[in-house]
Structure 1
C-alpha cells in the first residue's frame, strides 16, 4: 500500500477518536527509521497535550488498527504532542501563527539560502511573507517550501 494512501486511511480512523476529546490532529506520518517502521500521530489541544491524553488515543487507535489491520509491516505506534517546534502544515496552522517566529526550509536555495527564520506576517495560497530581524519582508513561494515549523528561540 502506498504511504499516502495508508496515511489517509489511518487519518480517517483517528479523527473520530480525537473528536471525542476535542483534540486536533497536527500531523500523521508513516516512516522507516533504520530497520523499523513507525506510525507517528501528533495531536494537540488548547493548553497542550498530556501523557494521559496520548495514552488514551494510543490505546483506542491501537485497537482499531489491530481490528482493521491496514499495515502489512511490523511497526511501532507513537502518539505524542507536536512539540515546541511544531510543524505548520495547514493554512489554519499558519493562521494561528501569524505574528510568531517560524523557520522555513526550502527544496532549493533562494538568494544562497535554504533556510529562513522570521516572523510570519502574511500568507496566501501562493506565498508566505516573513519579516526578518532587520524588519525586511521576505516573500517565499510555497511551491519550494519543504517544511515550516515554529521557531524556537533561546
Structure 2
C-alpha cells in the first residue's frame, strides 16, 4: 500500500466518526511535502473553516502517533470545492447530469481523455456522454476525474448552500 492509502486507512474511521467523509488524500512534493486531505460533511451541508480545523486537529493527533510520513510535511485540510475531484464511485452517481473531465489509465478506443456529461454508473461502469459519443469507463481505469465549472454547477451549488426555500 502506498503512503496515501496508508494515511487514508489511518484517518478515515476518525473522520467518519466526526460526521465527515474523506474525499481524497494526496501528497505533493517540493522542499517540504504537503499532505492534503479533502473532506466533506456526511450530512451534505457546506464545509466551514471550523470543520476543516476540527478535522486537522484530529488527523494531526492520529498522524503524530502513527507517523506514516518520516520527513517534515505541512498538513492541509480543505473541502472539495465546486469543481471538485471525483474520487469515489458514488461521486459519479451523485453528480450525474453535470459536466466532467476524466482521464483513464489505459486507452479506451484510442483515447485517454474524456469530457462530457456524466450519466451515472451502470453495472460498475462510469458513463459519460462526450462529443464523440457515449463512453463507459471501468472505475479502476479512471486515473483522475473532476467536475467542470459551469453555470449549472454553480447554480446547483448555490441552491444546496441556501437549502430548501419555504
Structure 2 SS opposite 1:53: helix
Q: Deviations over 1:3-32 (max 9, x none)?
A: x1x223221221232223211110111221
Cα distance in 1 between the residues matched to 2:141 and 2:20: 30
Where in structure 2 are there 5+ consecutive unaligned residues? 152-166
Between Structure 1 and Structure 2, how many residues are aligned? Answer: 148
Cα distance in 2 between the residues matched to 1:55 and 1:19: 15
Cα distance in 1 between the residues matched to 2:112 and 2:23: 24
The residue number in structure 1 matching 2:91 is 93
Q: Deviations over 1:66-93 (max 9, x none)?
A: 2222211111111110111211122111
The residue number in structure 1 matching 2:156 is none
RMSD after superposition? 2.5
Cα distance in 2 between the residues matched to 1:41 and 1:88: 14
Which one of 132, 138, 150 corresponds to residue 134 of structure 2? 138
Cα distance in 1 between the residues matched to 2:17 and 2:141: 36
Do the aligned partners of 1:127 and 1:139 also contact (CA within 8 Å) in 2?
A: no
The residue number in structure 2 matching 1:121 is 119
Moved over 6 A (4+): 108-113
The residue number in structure 1 matching 2:45 is 47
Give the 3 Å change call, closer, same or farther, for CA 122–60 of structure 1 in structure 2: closer
The residue number in structure 2 matching 1:15 is 12
Cα distance in 1 between the residues matched to 2:65 and 2:141: 39
The residue number in structure 1 matching 2:63 is 65
**TM-score of the aligned structures, taking structure 1 as reference length:** 0.79
Aligned ranges for residues 73-88 of structure 1 at < 5 Å? 73-88=71-86
Structure 1 SS opposite 2:68: coil
Give the 3 Å change call, closer, same or farther, for CA 63–113 of structure 1 in structure 2: same
Do the aligned partners of 1:128 and 1:141 also contact (CA within 8 Å) in 2?
A: yes
Cα distance in 1 between the residues matched to 2:130 and 2:13: 40
Structure 1 SS opposite 2:100: strand
Where in structure 1 are there 5+ consecutive unaligned residues? none
